[in-house]
Amino acid sequence: MVYICASVRSWAGGGRRGRRRRRSGLEHWNWPEDSTATVTCYTNCPEAALTLNGEPVGTASLSEAREGVLTLQVPYAPGVLRAVGRQDGRDVCEFVLRTAGVAQKIMLSADSNRLLADGKDISHIEFQITDGEGVRVHDADTEVRFDVEGPAAIIGIENGDLSSLDDPKDNVHRAYQGRGLAILQSVRQSGTVLVTARAEGLQSAFVEINVAQASVH
């Protein structure tokens, strides 16, 4: 596996007492022009190579890692930052960060599209705010409303923001860093469930989930 995140330094305060402050590593590639990003890389491959818009920008060996972490300095340019894990001279895995544009739509992804009608089975539905190409918009905190038709109900929504005051039992929740998670639970009836996510100014999204009675042997 290989994974990357990035951070840049920004000024905190002003005047002579202003000092540099590093933002923690984030999973996006939207940074100020003319900045240099510190790219943090985690991998279990012997070597990791970075390219930016197809051009090589750095290679690091796992033997150089400090506490299991590799770091590379990369002059920022919008586009695609790709990390490739290499083993025995072969590319064996990759992870990509893409520059996001303006938020345009919601995307839904369910970890299960089939549930048992036992009143207990659940599906985790991730929601993301993305640009027109499907790239997550990292700073989107859009309020998303969920509607459920069929034999299931949303029992909780969260976004990972520890300071959020949104009610996790409500069907309206803000995204945090462009995403969140809704938990859908079946009831004791079978049928097709339609989950729709809507937000002002964005293209809505839906996912269908089938709820079936357990087989009797």
Radius of gyration of the chain (CA): 21
Mean pLDDT of the chain: 91
Q: Which residues contact 133 (CB under 8 A, 6 or more apart)?
A: 98, 101
Residue 165: what pLDDT? 82
In Å, how far from its chain's centre is CA 2? Answer: 16
Amino acid at 181: L
Domains, the chain, in order of start with CATH, read 2-98 (2.60.40.10), 105-212 (2.60.40.10)
Pair of tokens at residue 4: 């990357």
Please compute the mean of the pLDDT values over residues 85-98 and round it to a whole number: 96
Residue 102: what pLDDT? 97
Over the stretch 134-181, which tens digit does the pLDDT of each residue have? 999 999 999 999 999 999 999 999 999 988 888 888 899 999 999 999
Using pLDDT thresholds of 50, 70 and 90, give the confidence band for residue 186: very high
Please compute the mean of the pLDDT values over residues 48-68 and round it to a whole number: 94
**What's the pTM value of the predicted model, to 2 decimals?**
0.86
